[in-house]
Amino acid sequence: MQTRRYHHGDLRAALLTRAERTLREKGPGALSLRELARDLGVSHAAPSRHFKDKQALLDALALAGFERLDEALAGSRAAGETFADRLGGLVRAYVDFALANAELLDLMYTVKHDPAASEELITAAQRLGAMAVELVAEGQRSGEVREGPVDDIGMPVFTTLHGFASFAVSSVLSAEEVESGLDAVIAYMVRGCAPS
């Protein structure tokens, strides 16, 4: 029998860690503040000191997800000689994150009904998009990407990236189809539909 510990300031972090574990193992429907509190050995009212309501905890979880995805994508950009290689690395990293964090990615992009509250999350997503735009800008400088407003190419690239990962997450594409489709997606991002 352990004495009741005070969570000396780390309850907030403990709630987030535990919440992500529950999200992964039991799905978003099973996420309850009271159960979280029970799991961590605090009273059911304790979480409210750190998150004003359940949505605030979900938002914090989503934001942490964006930060980790950001790091994963930034790390993927070093490798690759050509534009297509670097693009492939970005897609690979995004898809890997999606497969390893399906429920979390879903949460990150879930429609919040209060638009003001999710401003921070939208900014985080746009920061991700900026990485795709930056990659395209590099490609333009090296002549591997066609001329034109960089957003006109970078935004659709990010869109394809996200759509592919989203289909992986929602099982529209099976894990095998994701693996075998990766090269086709990259080729399409580079060449589009049109004949050479």
Partner DNA sequence: ACCTGAACACCGTTCAAGT
Q: Please tell me the distance from the alpha carbon of residue 155 to that of residue 184, in angstroms, as a whole number.
A: 19
What are the C-alpha distances in Å from 140 to residues 51, 76, 101?
45, 19, 32
Q: Does 52 bind DNA (CB under 7 A)?
A: yes
Q: Please tell me the distance from the alpha carbon of residue 48 to that of residue 18, in angstroms, as a whole number.
A: 16
- Tell the smallest beta-carbon distance from residue 9 to DNA (Å): 5
Give the per-residue contact string, 96-135, with a copy of itself (x = CB under 8 A; - = no). ------xx--x--xxx-x-x--x---x--xx--x------
Q: Which is nearer to a copy of itself, 70 or 151 (CB)?
A: 151
Q: Please tell me the distance from the alpha carbon of residue 42 to that of residue 59, in angstroms, as a whole number.
A: 22
What are the C-alpha distances in Å from 118 to residues 25, 60, 109, 172?
25, 10, 10, 27
> Which of DNA, a copy of itself, none binds 157 (CB below 5-8 Å, type-dependent)?
a copy of itself
Q: Which of residues 94-153 bind DNA (CB under 7 A)?
A: none
Q: Please tell me the distance from the alpha carbon of residue 71 to that of residue 74, in angstroms, as a whole number.
A: 5
Q: Please tell me the distance from the alpha carbon of residue 196 to that of residue 194, in angstroms, as a whole number.
A: 6
For residue 71, how many C-alpha atoms fall within 13 Å in the half-sphere facing its CB? 5
Q: Please tell me the distance from the alpha carbon of residue 64 to that of residue 156, in angstroms, as a whole number.
A: 25
Query: In this chain, which of 72, 99, 137, 155 binds a copy of itself, going by CB under 8 A?
Result: 155
Query: In this chain, which of 17, 39, 55, 127 binds DNA, going by CB under 7 A?
Result: 55
Q: Which is nearer to DNA, 48 or 140 (CB)?
A: 48
Query: In this chain, which of 21, 26, 44, 68 binds DNA, going by CB under 7 A?
Result: 44
Which positions touch a copy of itself (CB under 8 A)? 26-30, 55, 83, 87, 102-103, 106, 109-111, 113, 115, 118, 122, 125-126, 129, 136, 139, 143-147, 149, 151-153, 155-164, 166-167, 169-173, 177, 181, 184-185, 187-196
